Structure 1
């Protein structure tokens, strides 16, 4: 009886292995290239190269697409997608993008106003200054040249020659932080209580010496909702997407059991 049962098990196992073998041998070898995918590749090629692909280029594009698909399928057969951290992250990103792009109810005016009021401090507009400057490099006796240039402007009302400055001569609506970023920490203090439309200086920066003329000052203020409505809308939609993704992940977590070494002190 035992021998018969063992024989039946061996025959069954053989049939199962043959079925698996035939199934893998007869897997669909058809590769379908869809118009949308091809057109997208052609558009990408045209944008990068600056012209539409000729016939030879087109054959190369299609051949690369076919080879990529073949290698992808062969890699899947070998389970090369398993436990690959790069593939994991890419797939996680893709499902994240899909969830974030899901359509939700458009915000009403009331929604945006309420959001603005709850985050009004984030939309505070710092003092902004528009100005021009003349730069004198410290490597070319900049301090002395700046003093002489200021005298020329004061006595002769002429604009003297100066050195080129890496980020330009004219600056529009710059905050103190942005000015310090371009000229060095503390340089923005030279703009405090200065008269508009008058050349003043010289002032030293980390690069050399400067003469500056302020053309416009926009004082700091808390804006009205209408002034920043577009920015509020963008921030609102971004926050909602992030909130939706967070809730989605938290719901999924409930179906999973996390097993980890206690020494890492992980708290779900």
Structure 2
């Protein structure tokens, strides 16, 4: 065992493992920083449901979401992801720039 601990290869592997663990701890990434990741969680689906049913009561949206079958929920999630992808693509293409309707809508939101 003492001979093994004196091996340079073991030192190299231990140092590499230590650096790997340290790097993992320092550079935690939850996926929020990646613009290609679409997070589908309960809050996002509730907000989407409120806009879809045009009722901004969270209790009603929760009831609607909870009452969906598995197939309906899967289709609902697909719709959410599709809309989010199209929204991000429109922003990436700059379709929000120099558009008076969008400008007025942003002013209304303030």
The TM-score, its normalising length taken from structure 1, stands at 0.22
Q: Distance in 1 between matches of 2:35 and 2:46?
A: 25
Q: Gaps spanning 5+ residues in structure 1: where? A: 1-26, 96-268
Residue in 2 that maps onto 1:33: 40
CA positional deviation for 1:60: 1.1
Q: Gaps spanning 5+ residues in structure 2: where? A: 1-33, 51-60
Residues 129-140 of structure 1: pairs in structure 2 closer than 5 A: none
Q: 2:73 aligns with which of 55, 58, 83?
A: 58
Structure number with higher relative contact order (C-alpha < 8 Å, ≥ 6 residues apart): 1
Pair 1:84 & 2:99 matched:
yes
Q: Distance in 1 between matches of 2:108 and 2:63?
A: 25
Larger Rg computed on CA atoms: 1
Q: Over aligned residues, Cα RMSD in angstroms?
A: 2.7
Residue in 2 that maps onto 1:67: 82
Residue in 2 that maps onto 1:102: none
The TM-score, its normalising length taken from structure 2, stands at 0.50
Distance 1:88 1:31, change over 3 A: same
Residues 12-27 of structure 1: pairs in structure 2 closer than 5 A: none
CA positional deviation for 1:56: 1.1
Q: Distance in 2 between matches of 1:83 and 1:45?
A: 39
Distance 1:54 1:62, change over 3 A: same
Q: Distance in 2 between matches of 1:69 and 1:45?
A: 23
**Higher helix fraction: Structure 1 or Structure 2?**
2
Q: 1:46 aligns with which of 54, 60, 64?
A: 64
Q: Distance in 1 between matches of 2:63 and 2:88?
A: 25
Distance 1:31 1:57, change over 3 A: same
Q: Secondary structure at the match of 1:60?
A: helix
Distance 1:60 1:79, change over 3 A: same
